[in-house]
Structure 1
């Protein structure tokens, strides 16, 4: 499992989670505290965390951490279409890994390849995806929550 954050002006480091499942405590201690908090500070006023409703994200310990740190998180309705632009980044990364002439043979090789691919994604690609949000939201509304080409 990997985690990364994107914004119009940059991105966080890609974090590859070690073995085990992502619990709320791990999310707070490995993602929110060391990655999100400093990134929110670097972005400055207006920072808004966009995450889905995965259990660790909505757990009380994580919600309390965000509140204590003054980090606003976007409300994410249950069973809503996944419009998060990061999903397109994951797709780009997956395609890039699959197109390699020599596939990663170990978990560490895969982790290293993912970090490399993450760092090679042009910032303009990220900006384009983020700027497409209003258009994508309009299409979902027009489709009444149904299928769109996104």
Structure 2
């Protein structure tokens, strides 16, 4: 498994783990070692977004997040693909597949993934964040009724 996190101005180190991820392992190897440290180091990062992976939702994980004062962004189930990092994972996968020679062992794959992650320029992450925010707003706007408000104190003689 591979885990990483991005923000408008920063990205975490890439974490690779063998085997499955349960709540305790997620807390010990991701939240405690990376997320808490990352957010403490970068004061401009004040929200943490998770997807709906099994390790993210158990009570144990929620208690840890609350006890460590990590503010999370609630993410509705009907918008699963709007996280900007999903687009980044796709780009990293494409870059690894284009490598010559291609990685053939698990260790080579891990090295290739880390190198591609490290080489991601922050401006590309910013573009994804901006695109994601626009997409989220478009999706949210389609779900709710729009109300037009017209100013009542506009003079008939004034030009637009």
Q: 2:17 maps to which residue?
A: 17
CA distance in 2, matches of 1:132, 1:79: 18
Q: CA deviation at 1:16?
A: 0.4
Runs of 5+ in structure 2 lacking a partner?
144-160
3-state SS of 2:138 partner: helix
1:89-135: CA deviations, max 9, x gaps? 10110000111121101000000000000000111000111122331
TM-score for both structures, normalised by structure 1: 0.89
Moved more, 129-138 or 3-12: 129-138
> Per the alignment, in what secondary structure is the counterpart of residue 7 of structure 1?
coil
Say how many residue pairs are matched. 144
Gaps (5+ residues) in structure 1?
145-150
Aligned to 2:94: 95
Q: How big is the shift at 1:82?
A: 1.5
Secondary structure at 2:104 match in 1: coil
Which secondary structure state, in structure 2, belongs to the residue aligned with residue 89 of structure 1? Answer: helix
After the TM superposition, which residues 97-112 of structure 1 pair with which residues of structure 2 at under 5 Å, given as runs? 97-112=96-111
Residues 109, 120 of structure 1: CA spacing in aligned structure 2 closer, same or farther, 3 A cutoff? same
Q: CA deviation at 1:80?
A: 2.5
Larger Rg: 2
Alignment match, 2:31? 32
Please name the residue that 2:49 is paired with: 50
| Residues 1:116 and 1:23: Cα distance change in structure 2 (over 3 Å) | same
For the aligned residue pairs, the C-alpha RMSD in angstroms reads 1.7
